[in-house]
A and B are shown apart, each in its own frame.
Chain A
Amino acid sequence: MPAKPRLAVVKFASCDGCQLSLLSLEDELLRLAGKIEVAYFLEATSRIEPGPYDVVLVEGSITTADDATRIQQLRRAAKYLITIGACATAGGIQALKNWADSEEYLRAVYARPDYIRTLATSTAIADHVAVDFELRGCPINKHQLLEVLRSLLAGCQPRTPTYSVCVECKRRGSVCVMVAHGTPCLGPVTQAGCGAICPAYDRGCYGCFGPSDQPNLVPLTDHLRSIGMTPEQVVNSLRGFSGYAGEFRRESERLVESIGTIATGVGAAAVEPDVADSSGEWGDGQPGGDPK
């Protein structure tokens, strides 16, 4: 890595939330700016410098033919290409269209669908080009982003865990929402990195960091059904922000196959299941409520 590596932050189909994580590194941003030359980052500056770049952070998924070409050019201009966020690493929430009729979506959403040119799928960057490192999450965790940039500067391997969200949930001291409230949670099969935010606020993890290392999906989906979710709800909960990622995708497709067709297209039921147990006095559907 040169003394002051040149950084580009590039976006494909995405909401810009992950790029903003870079800007929200308030404390570290100035020190970072002294070590990295920001050559291309439209979210932060309108100044554009041509490649090649030492590090390219890629946000977003590939949903158009133009983008499929652009990512190839970008790969050639990048020494290290790092994907950031669920869109870039798994296709994002927009990958729902992979299981649906893209034409139907166009007709439902746009007044003039003939103005729109889009691929039938939303796919991860790694489906198109070689990726050097990926950061998961919707959005990514800014501390993990800093860890990656710091490691690049130091020339070492970033430390990002591959174990489950449960590890961080327990270290944090949160009460397990699945065991204590009967709230469905994908934490046991989802990769850590977020600090187990959702259970700390009495919400189940909805899997935005994608599958953990060697996840065991079947016993979890069996369990979710045993605590009251319908098979459709289980499929919809797996098909969230990282729904098209490896094991999540295979398990939702296995379930669909085992139960027959399922409504996941336009207007499908909301992903958020609500089967919180109401037998205990606390579990009266008031997350965060204080029993005192």
Chain B
Amino acid sequence: MAERETKPDPKGKSLPASDDGPGAAGWIAKSDFQSFLDRLVALGYRTIGPTLIQGAIGYDEIRQVDDLPKGWTEHQSAGSYRLVRRDDDAWFGFNLGPHSWKRYLFPPQQTVAKAIKRDDGWQLDDVEDAEPPFAFLGVRACELAAILVQDRVFLNEHHSDPIYRRRRENALLIAVNCTQAAETCFCTSMGTGPRCVVAFDLALTETELGFTVEIGSPRGASVLAGLPIREAAPAECAEAASARQQAEDQISKRLDTTDIRELLLGNLDHPQWDDVAERCLSCTNCTMVCPTCFCHSVEEVSDLDGGQVDRVRQWDSCFNARFSYMNGGLVRGDVRSRYRQWLTHKLAGWIDQFDTSGCVGCGRCITWCPVGIDLTAEVAAIREVPK
């Protein structure tokens, strides 16, 4: 089995595709999978994976194989998500829910520092993050790409966020290749999927009776030591390959990214911005579910006696009017300017800022927009009638 290094890579360079062709992959039976989960616990990991939450497949702590959403899938379209029964018992027979790994690496709300009043003045200290290492089970290709994008935001040469860094470096990424695609998926347009090729420690492909296992890092290999894993048989590799092909074949949504930076920045007065402003609730859902959006605000919260002040960081959004408040007023005082900010930042500004698109094609913003606004349709409309 080949091994590759998958330390956070600030440049996010693509590593060569791994191969689970005959002889290159391992295989673990579903009946042995509990021993894998137990191993993760024994190694001190807190395993987070897909599970049923409030009528959707979200991410939460996984201890037993029965915590996985066996036999469930989802139907997604713009503004709509429905959990549905599959006609088989697949364990990972779905794509994405409302949660992303961002909530674990960059938590929605966290106290980052504390100031305590002493006789000789204030003492400000960072708050140590006490979270045990995470094992993320079921990371999809587009989500691996999203983690690499957030690495550029939180771990670049100018700024390194201590909480993100610690969680990211400790996290074990167990990817799962998609074997189907949702109507909202467009990873192929963004070059991020559906095949997991970079940044994982282990990558699984589900077959009827088990999983093929590719190793992406020494850490991934060491986790497997002693588990009932054997070399995958040619028939198992073929079954896995055809399952992955099915995902690729099902992707129907496209985003034409040709000169997209110039297209958007050259059309800041396009009438489509007015059109979308009539439909957009400025509710922030798209940014909250987006696995790459990183906007946050920091507040100082004092206790009743004024003797201690907590510095709290929480997810915020460019769709909140006050997010653009500067001395004297709002910079983006209407929905038009806020939607335009989101789309032009995501698809154009990020290229200047982080040398990558801010979009990995996961489609979450399309599904979880309460009124079903689809960024690919907005871009297409802007492309259709050039200025």
Cβ of B117 under 8 Å from chain A? no
Q: Mark each residue of chain A from 245 to 259: 1 if its CB lies under 8 Å from any CB of chain B, else 0.
A: 000000000000000
| Residue contact A170 to B315, C-beta cutoff 8 Å | yes
Give per-residue flags for A97-133: 1 if the beta carbon is below 8 A from chain B beta carbons, else 0. Answer: 0000000000000000000000000000000000000
* CB atoms of B282 and A214 under 8 A apart: yes
Instruction: Known A173-B99, A173-B103; judge A179-B302 contact (CB<8 A).
Output: no
Chain A, range 267-292, C-beta contacts under 8 Å to B: 277, 279-283, 288-292
- Neighbour of B108 across the interface among A171, A181, A187, CB < 8 A: A171
Contact of B302 among A154, A189, A283, A291 (CB under 8 A): A154
Q: A28-B304, A179-B79, A189-B281 are in contact. Are A283 and B55 (CB under 8 A)?
A: yes
Question: Nearest B residue to A162 by beta-carbon distance?
Answer: B322
B304 touches A163 (CB 8 A): no
Task: Establish whether residues B321 and A214, one from each chain, have CB atoms under 8 Å apart when the complex forms.
Answer: yes
Does B56 lie within 8 Å of A180, measured CB to CB?
A: yes
CB contacts (< 8 Å) of B278 on chain A: these are: 218-219
State A277–B53 Cα separation when bound (angstroms). Answer: 17
Residue A95 CB within 8 A of the other chain: no
Indicate if the CB atoms of B281 and A188 lie closer than 8 Å.
Answer: yes
**Shortest distance in angstroms between A180's beta carbon and chain B's nearest beta carbon?**
5
User: Judging by beta carbons under 8 Å apart, are B302 and A223 in contact?
Assistant: no
Q: Are the CB atoms of B85 and A176 closer together than 8 Å?
A: no
Decide if B52 is an interface residue (CB 8 Å cutoff): yes
Rounded to whole Å, the gap between the CB of A238 and the closest CB of chain B is 15
State the Cβ distance, A254 to closest chain B Cβ, in Å.
Answer: 15
Task: Decide if B317 touches A159 in the complex (CB within 8 Å).
Answer: no
| Cβ-closest chain B residue relative to A214 | B321
In the assembled complex, which residues on chain A have CB atoms less than 8 Å from the CB atom of B317? 163, 167
Interface residue? A153 (CB, 8 A): yes
Residues of chain B with a CB closer than 8 A to A172's CB: 108
Interface size (A, Cβ < 8 Å)?
52
Q: Quick check: B109 and A171 within 8 Å, CB to CB?
A: yes
Chain B residue at minimum C-beta to C-beta distance from A174: B54
Is B11 among interface residues, defined by CB-CB distance under 8 A? Answer: no
Q: For residue A185, which residue of chain B has the nearest CB?
A: B370
Which one of B109, B304, B334 contacts A35 once the chains associate, using CB atoms below 8 Å? B304
Q: Among the listed stretches B35-43, B142-150, B192-200, B283-291, which one makes contact with chain A, having 4 or more residues with CB under 8 Å of it?
A: B283-291
Asked if A175 lies at the interface with its beta carbon under 8 angstroms from chain B, I say: yes
- Contact present for A150 and B302 (CB under 8 Å): yes
Q: Which of A150, A202, A214, A280 contacts B304 (CB 8 A)?
A: A150
Give Cα distance in the complex from A292 to B64, angstroms.
14
Say whether A159 contacts B299, CB under 8 Å: yes
Residue in A175, A220, A223, A279 whose beta carbon sits within 8 Å of that of B55 in the complex: A175
In the complex the two chains form, what is the Cα distance from A182 to B81 in whole Å?
A: 9
> Once bound together, how far apart are the Cα atoms of A97 and B326, in whole Å?
41
Q: A290 touching B52 by the CB < 8 A rule? A: yes
Q: Is B7 an interface residue (CB 8 A)?
A: no
| Cβ-closest chain A residue relative to B75 | A280
B316: chain A residues at CB < 8 Å are 167
Q: Given A164, A214, A220, A291, which contacts B72 in the complex, CB threshold below 8 Å?
A: A291
Contacts of A290 in B (CB 8 A): 52
Shortest distance in angstroms between A105's beta carbon and chain B's nearest beta carbon? 34
Across the interface, which residues of B come within 8 angstroms of A182, CB to CB?
80
Nearest Cβ distance between residue A290 and chain B, in whole angstroms? 7
Task: Let me know if A213 is at the binding interface, CB within 8 A.
Answer: yes
Contact check, A171 vs B314: say whether CB atoms are below 8 A apart.
Answer: yes
Q: How far is the CB of A21 from the nearest CB of chain B, in Å? A: 16
Q: Is B173 an interface residue (CB 8 A)?
A: no
Q: Residue A23 at the B interface, CB < 8 A?
A: no
Q: Which single member of B84, B108, B314, B368 contacts A173 (CB below 8 Å)?
A: B108
Residues of chain B lying within 8 A (CB to CB) of residue A292: 52
Which residues of A have CB within 8 Å of B82?
Answer: 180, 277, 279-280, 282-283
> Which of A170, A219, A277 is within 8 Å of B371, CB to CB?
A219
- B residues engaging A (CB < 8 A)? 52-56, 58, 72, 75, 79-85, 97-99, 103, 108-109, 278-285, 288-289, 299, 301-306, 314-317, 320-322, 333-335, 367-371
* 30 pairs from A and B in contact (CB 8 Å cutoff): A28-B304, A150-B302, A150-B303, A153-B306, A162-B321, A163-B322, A164-B282, A167-B284, A167-B288, A173-B99, A174-B54, A175-B53, A175-B56, A176-B81, A176-B98, A176-B285, A179-B81, A180-B82, A181-B55, A188-B283, A214-B335, A215-B281, A219-B280, A223-B79, A223-B370, A223-B371, A277-B82, A279-B82, A280-B75, A282-B55
